[in-house]
Structure 1
Amino acid sequence: MGELPDPAGDDHAVLPGGNMKHGSKLAAATAGLILAGSATMTGTPASAATNMKGGPLPAGTTAINILNLNDFHGRIDTDGKGTLGKNFACTILTQREQLGAANTLTLGAGDLIGGSPFTSSIQNDEPTLDFLNAIGMDASAVGNHEFDQGYDDLTQRVEPHADFEYVGANVFLKGTQTPALKTHKIYDVAGVRVAVIGGVTKDTPNLVEGAGVANLDFIDPVDGVNRVANELTDGNETNGEADVLIAEYHEGGPFSSTTGTLEDQMKVPVFAHLANDTSPKVAAVLQGHTHQAYVYDVQIPGEAAGSTRPVLQTGQYAAAVGKVQLGYDAAAKKVVAYNATNIPATAPSPACLANATYQSAAKIIDDAIAYAAPIANQPVGKITASITRDGADDRKRESALSNLIAQQYVESLNAPGRDMGVDIGVMNPGGVRADLPFGTDGTVTFAQAATVLSFGNNLKAADYTGAQFKQILEEQWQPAGVSRPFLALGLSKSTTYTYDPTRAQGDRITGIFINGAPIDPAATYTIASSSFLITTAGAAPDNFGTFLKGTNYRDSGLVDQNAFVDWLGDNSPVAPPTVQHGVAVLNAPATVNYGKTTTFRVEGVDLASAGAVKNTSVQVSIDGRTATTAKVSSVRVAGVPSRDGVADVSFKLIGKILPDDSPRTVYIKIVAAPSGTTAWIPVRVKG
């Protein structure tokens, strides 16, 4: 497998022949590697031809193999032993030996670095880049996290450190048609010219610090990939030609193969666009960004029925290796068959342990662990039970850990000597990168705490009106067409709200209470968060555009990671929050009539994090008078967001609590037991 050089730095030009960037090195390094066991093809594959369903490619075709990963996020080590990285390294090398190194490309779909555990982040992810170099990465799409420290850092530090190519066909210098990155790379795989074209989510400016990408434009990734695909197949050798095209997208669908079908994914505009509108000239569509694992056969629009291609994402953190085999027919000049699956990463085999390439990769991990250990292993506090997100990367539901961090923001910024007058703490779910496990005795190490908040943002505060805060909560429902339709904000103890998910976009929040009192739309409230959300520059962070409209912005001078570590120590032992801050109320009454039955439904009283309290009942009172107690069913209601813990409330008010037709608004108060989740519904009482 050889890389075809681009003369004069032209990313589109191709010359015959080529130098061996990784192929010859790895062919030698992996020679004689004994397979730990052959993997069966269990996924649902795809390509512009016949899905072989794990069977051999047709005789006479040239095998073009791809080993793929996405959203690695520097997970060379999470347990002090490097288990994740070492498992992944062995799986890659074993699969490459099985497939044949000369016919195999090792590729990525972005976010290989950024949002990383302490072992990698303490050295600015350089150990991860060294590790990826060692295992023989050939190319990767850029992800939004590759831009975490800005475009200059990517091009002047990250790219020179990587032996592999970062590609992004939809990133341009601002206001121009000049690509800001290499759009693609072409490799000679057994005499076949294979182009790897990259695309990153168009939403990148909303996902990173705005100043770092202020001089860039991010267009639709499908448009970027298709433009390059057309150039590489237009018959003009001067702008480059390729025989097989591979799209690497840092963008994807919101479901895994266990939570959604292809039909479910196709209902999501961003996934349908990637799958259906990518040029039919592209033989395989590889994805990332959403941390989901799936393999689908997708019909290529405009092609004969049954002409499909693979659409694949491997999940996250190198838990699996994506494996795609394409059968290229030189006479027909096209891909005619394929297989695709995800291979779970497994523990190193004896053959790997004896292999020089594996040993080199493992040493990089061990050296990084040793470098970090003096700081990483220091205990900084205690917890009484695990404090987690809802799932490894589920941002669709409120979590105990996000709420805990939001509360920590308030307390850190209101501490004596700082006294910034914060009313509300807010945490964006994508900024929470790891859980806090209880372990054997609840001890939290520096590395564990630092990995939770790995970006090193400053803590800031700004002032917003009550109406603006309502709009911030409305913006949890993301714009149409994005891959994550809901981003659940973590909130401090002071804040609760109700919503109706059946209402129109921008009008779903039905009530907000700060310290038990209804919010005043015209009053001013001080909100604390990281500098990612509390910002005045760039695009809307995570599409929360109202954060850009505050006043009196001020910087605490605290780095979020350090503040969190200090707060854990000062408040140990820390217990996981149990209260859900956002509760859905459906068919909420506007009035309560004496002698008539009032009914409504409450959904989502249970916080959905690991080990969270399951509520059994809700007590319902009106203006301080108990009306009824209703049973809570521990079920999950599908929707945006999904909601855990449901109660159907019904009561009849007998005996006056107010004069007839009183104009005063009173509140139905709902308190879930045993968690204490609380919600209020404003009503008028009628005689």
Structure 2
Amino acid sequence: MRIIGSLLALACLMASLASGAAERRFVVLHTNDWQSRLLGYGPNSEYSPDSLNDDLTVGGVARLATLLHERRAALGEVPLLTLDAGDFSMGTLFHTVAREEGGELRLLGALGYDATTLGNHEFDFRPAGLAQMIAAAERAGDAPNVPILASNIRFSAQSADDDALEALQRAGRIQPYRIVEKGGLRFGLFGLMGRDAVEVSPLMAPVTFADPLAAARDMVRLLREQERVDVVILLSHMGVSAQPDGSWRGEDVELVEQVPGIDLVIGAHSHSLLREPLRVNDTTLVQVGSEIQYLGELHMTLDAQGRARVAEYRLHAIDDRTPGDPAIGQRVAALQQAVSERVLAAHGYAFDQPLARVERTLTRAYDDSVLGNLVTDALRRGAGSDIAFTGNGTLRDELYRGREGVQSVADLFRVAPLGIGEFDDQPGYPLMRVYFTPREIRQILEVLLLAYQMRDSDSYYPRVSGVKFTYNPWRMPFDRVSRIWLGDAERGYRELDPDAPGLISLGATTYVGSFTWLIPELTYGLFEVVPKDAEGRPLAQIRDAVLDRDPDTPGIQEYKEWQAFLDHVAALPARDARGLALLTDQGAAAEQRMLRVASLAPSELFRHAGGLQWTATLLCALLLWLAGWLTWRLWRRVRAG
């Protein structure tokens, strides 16, 4: 019996050793959604990558470079990949020179990334602009070309607008997949753009993206059966979102539930910070928020049957405890100089120029009105209009107080950074000015209000200037706005009669204002809103409404949203001791311009009520009368019986 027991123990030991020998280990370092955030999170003037423990900022690509170097050195010879999941561009002043400098792609290459994919913001300068970014990075020649993986991208056979980008695909700069061999392991990488990312990127046309599910199945089959890879990794620009019950759903989860064979998904687009990897069937999903605030470090093992399992996960915060890499810092400084020279100098600004000071962080929260008021006031002033509006989701960043509260040109730009011209092809959405009747203004407010209430998202919260209005949630949709006032807190407000004659000018960006052309379609003909010029003539298209800042110069001289915002802040009368504009959060600056008045009082239910409210009321009265009549008939029948 002792001999048999010894043999069994030896067999178990040998099996354990064999299992351990068969198990292979690899590591993936990953980021997503850089969005051109090359400096730290917080006031740029306080970002100090050359010293430690002396600022509150987080992030910064120079610090990321140091952390990558440290982790690679610590991990030694283990097979290691460094991957990014797209949206590496757009969101700060750095992206304004992306087409000329290719700075973000060059930095990905300099930091040793094995691959990235395309996000929706890569198309914010249209397909031709993305092609220019890629070509500029390659032309600079100061860093390896980071492979760009886009498995479901499709080009138009009819339009020439994506030909330059298609040529880069044919040249191998954009690939459907990539094989990487490290430490005896064969990795198959591919990249996908999701449905939501496509929907929020109207400027990508005529480029399209095929169904990600079908593309994923094709890629997994190719990588597993033809390329015979050991590990399949998807760089996904689709995303996940937290649910009320604590679970996670989203396009990434839905895809891996239906497409087996993917070992790992590096996620993006939703800016979700997953502190622990998600496990869906046999697939691991990770994502690290956005804008270089974290570096993910995923350790995985591959057993003898080829099953990949999470062994360990670390989320590295990128902050002032990590010094910046000097060489990367110099690259970033060169890009700052390029921004000042190429973009800002012509408008009288510089990248690091201090313009304003905040007393607290001005947030994008729907119930924090200061920043939204500031932006819409800038739109109204820039457009020279009676009123202006935008959506809360167009405010792309907050103004962080940090220690001193000083806001530079670069900090302020991040609030309104996106877009491209209608005529000049330059960074930034241009301002537009159109005219509407008082009744059409009310109808526009009704649509903005209902969009916010139906979407149940802070991104759709209306931000307005030059106008204040009340709404009653007890009234019928499309008939809830009860009172409207024109004016502002400084000069006073006057109530607007929706039936008054005349025209009211409205200012907005072309991105937001373009929806006014769609109102008849969106309301199924209920509202006949017609954008007009100052003489009341209908405008056929958005380009007809673009503001010409200098009519004496040939062509259309666009006035960008970010320019209007900087100019407005620079012109504010309130000043601190240094002469900087003081962005106060008190008094008129914090006024609420959309007011909820929930009331069943007849004066509120029927104030300026339209046909919807009156019809609904009459129907309710009729139903009540009918119910009462039926009850009376029933009561009489019971008494007679």
Tell me the equivalent position of 1:406: 376
Tell me the equivalent position of 1:555: 546
Q: Within 1, Cα distance between the matches of 2:211 and 2:246?
A: 22
**C-alpha spacing 1:527/1:252, structure 2 compared with 1 (3 Å):** farther
Q: Within 2, Cα distance between the matches of 1:339 and 1:213?
A: 38
Tell me the equivalent position of 1:150: 126
Q: Within 1, Cα distance between the matches of 2:528 and 2:195?
A: 20
Is residue 275–residue 311 contact of structure 1 (8 Å, CA) maintained in 2? no
1:246 to 215, 222, 233: 233
The AA in structure 1 aligned to 2:88 is L
- 1:87 and 2:63 correspond: yes
Is residue 110–residue 140 contact of structure 1 (8 Å, CA) maintained in 2? yes
2:388 to 424, 436, 442: 424
Is residue 301–residue 311 contact of structure 2 (8 Å, CA) maintained in 1? yes
- 1:445 and 2:377 correspond: no
Tell me the equivalent position of 2:22: 60
Tell me the equivalent position of 1:75: 37
Shift of 1:314: 0.5
**C-alpha spacing 1:77/1:299, structure 2 compared with 1 (3 Å):** closer
2:512 to 508, 524, 533: 533
Q: Within 1, Cα distance between the matches of 2:278 and 2:250?
A: 15
2:484 to 514, 533, 546: 514
SS at match of 1:194: strand
Tell me the equivalent position of 2:117: 141
Q: Within 1, Cα distance between the matches of 2:337 and 2:131?
A: 29
**C-alpha spacing 1:173/1:367, structure 2 compared with 1 (3 Å):** closer
Tell me the equivalent position of 1:30: none
Give runs of aligned pairs for residues 582-661 of structure 1, distance below 5 A. 582=594, 588-591=598-601
Is residue 298–residue 310 contact of structure 2 (8 Å, CA) maintained in 1? no
SS at match of 1:229: helix
- For structure 1, which runs of at least 5 residues remain unmatched after alignment? 1-56, 302-307, 415-420, 593-621, 624-662, 668-682
1:459 to 417, 427, 431: 431
Q: Within 2, Cα distance between the matches of 1:66 and 1:548?
A: 55
Q: Within 2, Cα distance between the matches of 1:332 and 1:522?
A: 77
Is residue 206–residue 539 contact of structure 1 (8 Å, CA) maintained in 2? no
Is residue 148–residue 175 contact of structure 2 (8 Å, CA) maintained in 1? yes
Shift of 1:370: 5.3
- 1:232 and 2:223 correspond: yes
Is residue 98–residue 104 contact of structure 2 (8 Å, CA) maintained in 1? no
Tell me the equivalent position of 1:580: 592
**C-alpha spacing 1:95/1:105, structure 2 compared with 1 (3 Å):** same
**C-alpha spacing 1:157/1:512, structure 2 compared with 1 (3 Å):** farther
Give runs of aligned pairs for residues 170-569 of structure 1, distance below 5 A. 170-174=152-156, 182-208=175-201, 210=202, 212-233=203-224, 235=225, 237=226, 240-255=227-242, 263-266=245-248, 268-270=249-251, 272-274=253-255, 276-277=257-258, 279-296=259-276, 298-301=278-281, 308-329=282-303, 331-347=304-320, 358-369=325-336, 375-380=350-355, 382-383=356-357, 385-386=359-360, 388-390=362-364, 399-414=369-384, 421-435=385-399, 437=401, 440=404, 444-455=407-418, 456-463=428-435, 465=440, 466-476=442-452, 486-498=459-471, 500=473, 507=477, 510-511=480-481, 513-515=483-485, 517=495, 520=498, 526-535=505-514, 551=531, 552=539, 553=542, 554-556=545-547, 557-569=558-570
Q: Within 2, Cα distance between the matches of 1:564 and 1:291?
A: 26
**C-alpha spacing 1:327/1:518, structure 2 compared with 1 (3 Å):** farther
Tell me the equivalent position of 1:164: 146
The AA in structure 2 aligned to 1:458 is P
Q: Within 2, Cα distance between the matches of 1:522 and 1:314?
A: 53
Shift of 1:69: 0.6
The AA in structure 2 aligned to 1:403 is N
The AA in structure 2 aligned to 1:492 is S
Q: Within 2, Cα distance between the matches of 1:189 and 1:369?
A: 36
Is residue 322–residue 340 contact of structure 1 (8 Å, CA) maintained in 2? yes
Number of corresponding residues: 497
Is residue 427–residue 530 contact of structure 1 (8 Å, CA) maintained in 2? no
Q: CA RMSD in A?
A: 4.3
**C-alpha spacing 1:665/1:528, structure 2 compared with 1 (3 Å):** closer
Is residue 406–residue 427 contact of structure 1 (8 Å, CA) maintained in 2? no
The AA in structure 1 aligned to 2:352 is N
Q: Within 1, Cα distance between the matches of 2:413 and 2:199?
A: 24
Q: Within 1, Cα distance between the matches of 2:518 and 2:208?
A: 11
Is residue 64–residue 189 contact of structure 1 (8 Å, CA) maintained in 2? no
**C-alpha spacing 1:243/1:443, structure 2 compared with 1 (3 Å):** closer
Q: Within 2, Cα distance between the matches of 1:77 and 1:562?
A: 21
- Deviations 1:638-678 (CA, angstroms, capped at 9, x unpaired): xxxxxxxxxxxxxxxxxxxxxxxxx97499xxxxxxxxxxx
Is residue 536–residue 548 contact of structure 1 (8 Å, CA) maintained in 2? no
**C-alpha spacing 1:400/1:242, structure 2 compared with 1 (3 Å):** farther
Q: Within 2, Cα distance between the matches of 1:479 and 1:175?
A: 36
**C-alpha spacing 1:509/1:69, structure 2 compared with 1 (3 Å):** farther
Is residue 105–residue 146 contact of structure 2 (8 Å, CA) maintained in 1? no
The AA in structure 1 aligned to 2:416 is L
Shift of 1:219: 4.0
The AA in structure 1 aligned to 2:567 is D
Instruction: Among all aligned residue pairs of Structure 1 and Structure 2, give the percentage whose two residues are the same amino acid.
Output: 16
- 1:132 and 2:108 correspond: yes
Is residue 431–residue 509 contact of structure 2 (8 Å, CA) maintained in 1? yes
Shift of 1:485: 8.2
Q: Within 2, Cα distance between the matches of 1:545 and 1:530?
A: 25
Q: Within 2, Cα distance between the matches of 1:190 and 1:512?
A: 69
The AA in structure 1 aligned to 2:240 is G
Is residue 116–residue 148 contact of structure 2 (8 Å, CA) maintained in 1? yes
Is residue 142–residue 250 contact of structure 1 (8 Å, CA) maintained in 2? yes
Shift of 1:149: 0.6
Q: Within 2, Cα distance between the matches of 1:69 and 1:146?
A: 16
**C-alpha spacing 1:495/1:297, structure 2 compared with 1 (3 Å):** same
Q: Within 1, Cα distance between the matches of 2:279 and 2:470?
A: 44
Tell me the equivalent position of 2:347: none
- Deviations 1:508-553 (CA, angstroms, capped at 9, x unpaired): 883364317478499976432222223389999xx99999986334
Is residue 294–residue 314 contact of structure 1 (8 Å, CA) maintained in 2? yes
Tell me the equivalent position of 1:18: none
Q: Within 2, Cα distance between the matches of 1:496 and 1:537?
A: 19
The AA in structure 1 aligned to 2:125 is Q
Q: Within 2, Cα distance between the matches of 1:300 and 1:436?
A: 37
Q: Within 2, Cα distance between the matches of 1:340 and 1:463?
A: 56
Q: Which structure dedicates a bigger proportion of its chain to helix? A: 2
- Deviations 1:194-220 (CA, angstroms, capped at 9, x unpaired): 122212232345434x3x422122344
Q: Which structure dedicates a bigger proportion of its chain to strand? A: 1
The AA in structure 1 aligned to 2:187 is V
SS at match of 1:197: strand
Tell me the equivalent position of 1:105: 81
- Deviations 1:241-286 (CA, angstroms, capped at 9, x unpaired): 432111222232344xxxx67x4344x5546424534x22111222
